[in-house]
Structure 1
Amino acid sequence: MRESTEQELRAAGLDPTEVGRVVTNALAEDLGPDFVDITSVATIPADQTDTADLVARADGVVAGLAVAAAVFELVGEVTGDDGTVAVSLVARDGQRVARGDVLATVTGPTRLLLTAERTALNLLCRMSGVATHTRAWADALAGTKATVLDTRKTTPGLRALEKYAVRAGGGTNKRLGLYDVAMIKDNHKLASGGITPAYRRVRAAFPDVPVQVEVTTVAEAVEAVEAGADFLLCDNMTPEELAEVVSAVGDRAELEATGGLTLAVAARYAATGVDFLSVGALTHSSPILDIALDLRTD
């Protein structure tokens, strides 16, 4: 992977080593045990070179260009081919793009371009789809204090990439996993005897870790903040119920609306005064942004 691509990934908050592992595994999945693209090897001379463009087939927000670049730059290493691919990024992550826009240009051995094509597009289309969906939510919340949050409902193995795509689309990451934030949800409350004992146990075991508490009623919200919680997940509440929580809690805790939210009701929930709207669909249900690799014919 080129140093410039590594720098792009670090600037995006991504670990180049982790991205390299994802890319290598994805290429290996496509190439099989012999690490060969049988169609390209059979039909294209080893010394043929070409240039191709990554082109948007639909309007949206792009994310993951440096990840796609890593695929093209690592494919020769994975296949054992000595050829190299040069990648030139035309667009930038977070940019709105239109159908027909060229996002990047790749030049190198034609076999490698076509071998890397699907893996690069799978990652780029997926990440751009998440960013496009997130931008729709960010636009819906514009002018309010509320920000859209993601969740842990991510594709296994792609969490870092999908959460980055949320950021590129104008959203915010909540917790990355089970290790960086304690989140007391309904099952934790049931298993430990309630909100207050659950909160105290977390505080005793991990005194420096942020603690968030899921609540379903105004009474639970008040109990949680009185126990010490400063971040509440208000689960499956109506806008009217949420407004009551906002009034009862005041500025003692940050408040997140969560559970079954849609773009159609985003403005109503934001108008209650909550700080965040949590949307699992950003990562579990976003359609891809259609992007293609077009070999130049001139």
Structure 2
Amino acid sequence: MIKVAIQKSGRLSDDTISLFRECGIRFSRGTGRLKSTATNFPLEFLFLRDDDIPGYVADGVAHLGVVGENVMIEKKKDVILRKKLGFSKCRLSVAIPKGNEYNGPEDLRNKSIATSYPVVLQKWLDEKGLTAELHEISGSVEIAPSIGLAEAVCDIVSTGSTLLSNGLKEVETVMRSEAVLISNKNLDAKQTALLEKLLFRMNAVQTGGSNKYILLNAPNEQLDKIISLLPGMKSPTVLPLHMEGWSSVHSVMAEDDYWEVVEELKNNGAQGILVVPIENMII
């Protein structure tokens, strides 16, 4: 059995639980529970504070962990990044009072900056050749300029609404972050094999989520053009229809290309276009 540490509450927790359930792993998540064992996979969940997860994984208390990439870097624990998971995306940004003029990173030189991520921020400052006075605080970072603690802040931003409501404007992106799967660096052979099985399922879910299955009817004289728009995984499947002169075309397309491709297909005579979400896709 392998143990995986995940955030006990919040958006990252919800998205992580959804991912494991989409991977076909069944477990219960009762309010206040700190542990849960899967019923159909040798996996035990530990529900922990986000900031504690890298340490628990590095120490071997948990074999795996799901955490924000920014937290993984900030904690500087000796863990292995196994996979970027594509959800809970955000950015770590510098913000200043919205009435202040800003001309670039040089304006931050020798300024006081409040942040919960001094390691990540210091690395960025070093790359820019800047020095600044960092005030490490946890929570309510946005209030620092208004109470005179700092001249700027560096904090996690998703929509930017919290900054705006506190009279701040975003001026620099220090890093972009998303949820990542990390592991202890000393997994044994059985644990590594279970990790590979888990990664296989995660890859199938992620690949399926970023693609669509498309079915359409096409006039035979336009098949070559329509097929050129639908490369599929290898090539589209083409089946003759009962109606003479028409074929049914089945393929897979990237979700990001959907609207452009569908418009082109319609312009080239495709009819009865049906687009279906893909739950899992193994390539």
TM-score, length-normalised on structure 1? 0.24
Higher helix share: 1
Higher strand share: 2
Which protein is bigger by CA-based radius of gyration? Answer: 2
TM-score, length-normalised on structure 2? 0.25
